[in-house]
Amino acid sequence: MTDTESVLTQIKDTIEISGGGKKVDLLLKNARVINTFSGDIHKTAVAVHKDRVVGFGDYPAKQVIDLKGAYLAPGFIDGHVHIESSMVKIPEFASVVLPHGTTAAVIDPHEIANVLGLEGIKYMLASSLNSGLSVYVMLPSCVPATHLETAGAELSAHDLGLLLNDERVLGIGEMMNYPGVIYRDEEVLRKIAIAGNKVIDGHAPMLHGKALYSYVSAGIRSDHECTNVAEAREKLRAGMYIMIREGTAAKNLKGLLPLVNSENSRKFIFVTDDRHLDDIMREGHVDYLVRTAIRLGVEPIRAIQMATINTAEYFGLKNLGAIAPGYAADMVVFEDMKKMKISRVFKRGRLVARNGVIEPGVISEYKGKTRGTVNVKWIEHEDFALKVQGRLARVINVIPDQIVTRMSLEPVKQAGGYVSSDTEKDILKIAVIERHMASGRIALGLVKGFGLKKGAIASSVAHDSHNIVVIGTHDGDMYTAAVQVVKMQGGIVAALNGQVLEALPLPVAGLMSDRSADFVREKQHQLNEIARMLGSSLRDPFMAMSFLTLPPIPEIRITDRGIIDAVKFKVVPLFVNKG
């Protein structure tokens, strides 16, 4: 039988089944169907055959489930997520988010690509195949993110082109190098050009006016970096989809929802970007965004559209985002619209989760390996000594629940001509250790807002190049924490008085654990508790620390190359007013 004849046979069977000529596999009766096309709720039965919805109403069926008036909505889609930030492999991630109703995710494997290049992207594609979650990929556009840091790989337009024909690759991921777009950098434009008719995601915090129009005119159609209504409105007027993000570090849901109304809501998409396991398990995933939006006054169907059909239509996922004939039978069941507690989840017509628990056999473990990625020149205690070279220093100021930072000029505490962490003023030392090329490069700086009174914390999760970042009150503890990260081939550490208090090994590219989600969550919880015991005032200091090395986000950062003016996009001296 030829391919055409096979397709023809399938079409005939589908038409016959949809017309009631044969028994369907499953009938969900007495459902209140949330229709994302018509924008209403209608009580009916939903017929499912194989992996698709085939019709509404009464059908002869092999299996009948009475939903007893419960709501039935399309499965939720996370429109932009870095799964690496959950610190577990994709199958473990799926085991956590599927019970919350997330049945599909559009991932940007930007983090692992900055460590392993194409090998990392291929790893994510392979590990997602039998995860129970539909995973689609946006190819990382900025590896490295900028010239201001050292990554473990570099991906050219040619490299990305090798993967563009994969059916699960939807386009080019967040174009963080917006100056490269605006000033027409040849290689940046090549990456845009190879996308063809596929989607190009944006990443342009605070960009406005003619610079924004230049950026959008290149074919970039979304942004997830808006922090206020005015910024989102300007980008919306320029034709962009607005991705409303509610992650662990960056929380923009409450700030952006006032812009959403009946006339423009179809241009909004819910995304999590970077969300830790503890938040997902405690609060939820995309369901949390939907539930919170409803609580804050968004009309319920509109909120569900933002988690389903809006996302599917933006990315061209033609069979997702709705409950309708021909659409994938990805569906969630819940009894109360406001509480939005998911009781059952169907994936491709199969019950995959019930009352927060994954059904047996849904997810297959992935046993593929990656090479070691922590390559560090021998670290010495003296590497953390910072000599005073000026009266004032540029200090990175953390803003709680945001990934943007502010810069302040502060007098430094010193002893014997060297800088000391000033716990009274909450000005602590920060170091970034290059970990890909064993170059021996270590940058030192100062950060304000962590609140540590003693000890040190360290991590190999440090966006975007994922070098080792360390913050501490004492050079010896910074040394201890950093050395432990190297010994584990990546991970997160808290140290005090020369001893490791707690550690989470992350051997998969220095970003992800090879253990269970429960193990990782417990370790994360313990690390955060210890950080609070050390004096940290932040809810999740490790995630906040991981973004201090991200040059594309204003206002001031630190990488292995030094202190970064993230507005002017250049390395600047730590000290000013020398002499």
Specify the pLDDT at position 265: 97
DSSP state of 538: S
Specify the pLDDT at position 250: 78
Q: Quote the longest CA-to-CA distance of the chain.
A: 89
- 192 alpha-carbon distance from chain centroid: 22
Q: Please answer whether residues 475 and 556 qualify as being in contact, where contact means their C-beta atoms are separated by less than 8 angstroms.
A: no
Q: Which of 1-15, 204-218, 307-321, 461-475 has the lowest mean pLDDT?
A: 1-15
SS3 sequence of 97-125? HHHHCEEEEEECCHHHHHHHCHHHHHHHH
Question: Could you tell me the two tokens for 137?
Answer: 């990929």
Specify the pLDDT at position 147: 87
What confidence tier does 1 reach under pLDDT thresholds 50, 70, 90? low
Residue 197 CB coordination number (10 Å): 7
Q: Please answer whether residues 162 and 118 qualify as being in contact, where contact means their C-beta atoms are separated by less than 8 angstroms.
A: yes
Q: How many CA atoms lie within 13 A of 285 on its CB side?
A: 28
What CA–CA distance (Å, rounded) separates 440 from 379? 8
Q: CB burial class (10 A; 0-12, 13-18, 19+) of residue 293?
A: buried
Interior angle at CA 89, CA 545 and CA 82, nearest 5: 50
* Average pLDDT value over all residues in the chain: 95
What CA–CA distance (Å, rounded) separates 246 from 274? 8
Q: Is 156 helix (H, G, I), strand (E, B) or coil?
A: coil
Give the sign of the dihedral formed by CA 513, CA 514, CA 520, CA 523.
negative
pLDDT one-digit tens code per residue, 558-577: 999 999 999 888 999 999 97
Who contacts 238 (Cβ-Cβ below 8 Å, separation ≥6)?
212, 213, 216
Q: What DSSP string describes 216-230?
A: HHTT--EES---SHH
Nearest to 131 by CA among 170, 164, 105: 105
Q: Find tokens 């005939």 and name the residue.
A: 12
Q: List the domains of the chain with CATH numbers.
A: 76-319 (3.20.20.140), 381-576 (no CATH)
pLDDT one-digit tens code per residue, 355-390: 999 999 999 989 999 999 999 999 999 999 999 999
Q: Please answer whether residues 268 and 305 qualify as being in contact, where contact means their C-beta atoms are separated by less than 8 angstroms.
A: no
Specify the pLDDT at position 219: 97
Residue type at 347 in one-letter notation = K
pLDDT(82) > 80: yes
Specify the pLDDT at position 19: 86
pLDDT(578) > 60: no
Specify the pLDDT at position 32: 98
Specify the pLDDT at position 553: 85
0.85 surpassed by pTM = yes
What CA–CA distance (Å, rounded) separates 439 from 380? 14
pLDDT, average across residues 418-434 = 96
Interior angle at CA 530, CA 526 and CA 534, nearest 5: 170
pLDDT, average across residues 417-433 = 96
Is omega for the bond preceding 144 within 30 degrees of 0, making it cis? yes
Nearest to 447 by CA among 493, 399, 398: 398
pLDDT, average across residues 148-172 = 96
Which phi-psi region, left, alpha or beta, contains residue 254 (left: φ > 0; alpha: ψ -120 to 50)? alpha
Q: CB burial class (10 A; 0-12, 13-18, 19+) of residue 481?
A: buried
Is omega for the bond preceding 3 within 30 degrees of 0, making it cis? no
Distances (CA, A) of 145 to 9, 110, 235: 48, 9, 22
pLDDT one-digit tens code per residue, 273-299: 988 898 899 999 999 999 999 999 999
DSSP state of 384: G
Who contacts 360 (Cβ-Cβ below 8 Å, separation ≥6)?
none
The H or E element that residue 478 is part of is helix 475-487
Beta bridge pairs of residue 496: 499
Distances (CA, A) of 488 to 139, 375, 459, 483: 29, 12, 11, 9
pLDDT(481) > 90: yes
Q: Please answer whether residues 404 and 395 qualify as being in contact, where contact means their C-beta atoms are separated by less than 8 angstroms.
A: no
Q: Is 144 helix (H, G, I), strand (E, B) or coil?
A: coil
pLDDT, average across residues 391-420 = 92
Interior angle at CA 390, CA 386 and CA 394, nearest 5: 75
Q: What DSSP string describes 37-51?
A: TTTEEEEEEEEEETT
Q: Is 24 helix (H, G, I), strand (E, B) or coil?
A: strand
Helices (H) and strands (E) in the chain, counts: 17, 31
pLDDT one-digit tens code per residue, 5-60: 888 878 888 888 888 888 999 999 999 999 999 999 999 999 999 999 999 999 99
Who contacts 545 (Cβ-Cβ below 8 Å, separation ≥6)?
450, 457, 459, 462, 469, 471
Nearest to 235 by CA among 192, 261, 268, 257: 268
Who contacts 549 (Cβ-Cβ below 8 Å, separation ≥6)?
149, 432, 462, 463, 464, 465, 467, 469, 557, 558, 559
Q: Please answer whether residues 387 and 378 qualify as being in contact, where contact means their C-beta atoms are separated by less than 8 angstroms.
A: no
What CA–CA distance (Å, rounded) separates 437 from 292? 44
Beta bridge pairs of residue 332: 73, 345
pLDDT, average across residues 507-529 = 95
Q: Find tokens 């596999």 and name the residue.
A: 25
What CA–CA distance (Å, rounded) separates 482 from 498? 11
Interior angle at CA 525, CA 524 and CA 529, nearest 5: 115
pLDDT, average across residues 485-504 = 98
Is omega for the bond preceding 555 within 30 degrees of 0, making it cis? yes
